[in-house]
Structure 1
Amino acid sequence: MFFVRTASERDLQQVRTLLVETWHATYDGIYGAAKVQEITDSWHSPAALKAKLAKKGGEFLVADDGKRIGGMGFAFMAEDMAKTALLRQLYVHPDLQRQGIGRDLFAELESCFPDAEVMRLEVEPKNAAAIAFYEAHGFVEVDRIKNCGVADSGLEAIVMEKPLV
């Protein structure tokens, strides 16, 4: 059984491994293994994860069974959008998907931002499983963008939102 808890610095290597494995399983067929490696080396580097852990107003969670980290989630309050929480990461190891870990992580993240009226996220248009998960949890498409994650990434994304009130 996995329990959701706040991440700590001692979790970051396991979280990085989880993210690299999950990204390759999910996105190699979309972007190619080399591009996925480039993204994970940047977006999921130890320094990037440590910065998320330290982000003021952020919530960095892991699903832990005492032996391994099976999932992770990260969200924070937007600085440029009033009363909006931004869900930036929600990943479950491929071997553990569809067992409720993502649901439990999401439920905890959803409750972490009492001042938020909306939760917003970006998702790859070809990631049908993620889109279905978010739709099942009340998200709807509100926009499409050309640069997911960081400026000039060149990665298209669907922007989805869910009211939290």
Structure 2
Amino acid sequence: MYFVRTAGERDLERIRAVLVESFHATYDRFYGEPKVDELIAHLFSPAALKARLAKKNAEFVVADSGKDIGAVGYAAMSADLAKTAILHLLYVRPALQRQGIGRDMFAELETCFPDAEIMRLEVEPKNEDAIGFYSRLGFIEAGRNENVGPGQSGIATLVLEKHLPAH
């Protein structure tokens, strides 16, 4: 059984392990292992994860069994879009997917931003599993970005949004 809780600095090494495993399982087939390694080095360096943990108007959560961390979630209020929270990370270890952990993580994150009216995220357009998951949570397509990632790496994303219930 996994319980969702706020992440702490002592979790960062285990968080990184979940993200590395999940990122490779998800994206190697789309971009190849070397490109995924490059993205991981940029996005999930210890310094980058520590900065996310310290960010104001953000929430970093983990699914913890007491023995291991099975999932990671991170969202923050947008600096550019009014009343919009951005879901930056929601990754469940591949062996633990389809057990409701991702749904529980999202349920926690969507309640963390009382001023937000919209939750927004970006997803790989070919990642049908993720798109299906987010659709079941109530997200709809809101646009596309054609050139995102470190150094404007040419990675395209599908933008999804969900209107949040009033708090």
Smaller-chain TM-score bracket: over 0.9
What is the CA deviation profile of residues 82-111 of structure 1, one whole-angstrom value per residue up to 9, with x for unaligned ones? 100000000000010001110000000000
With the length of structure 1 as denominator, give the TM-score of the two structures: 0.97
Contact 1:122 1:148 in 2 (8 A): no
TM-score (ref. length: structure 2): 0.96
Q: Measure the CA separation in 2 of the matches of 1:150 and 1:29.
A: 19
Structure 1 residue runs without a partner (length 5+): none
Distance in 2 (alpha carbons) for counterparts of 1:107 and 1:153: 32
Report the equivalent of 1:145: 145
Q: Which amino acid aligns with 2:90?
A: L
CA distance in 1 between partners of 2:150 and 2:144 (Å): 14
Distance 2:128 2:148 in 1: 16
Conserved in 1, the CA contact under 8 Å of 2:39 and 2:150? Answer: no
> How far, CA to CA, are the matches of 1:116 and 1:149 in structure 2?
25
Matched residues, number: 165
- Runs of 4+ residues deviating >2 angstroms: 147-151
Q: Is the 8 A contact 1:60 1:75 kept in 2?
A: yes
Percent identical pairs in the alignment equals: 62
In structure 2, what is the equivalent of residue 51 of structure 1? 51
1:150 CA displacement? 4.9
Aligned equivalent of 1:101: 101
Secondary structure of the 1:146 match is strand
Q: Where does the alignment leave 5 or more consecutive residues of structure 2 unmatched?
A: none
Query: What do the CA deviations read for 1:33-89 (whole angstroms, capped 9, x no partner)?
Result: 000011001101111100100011100000000111000100011111110000000
Equivalent residue letter for 1:2: Y
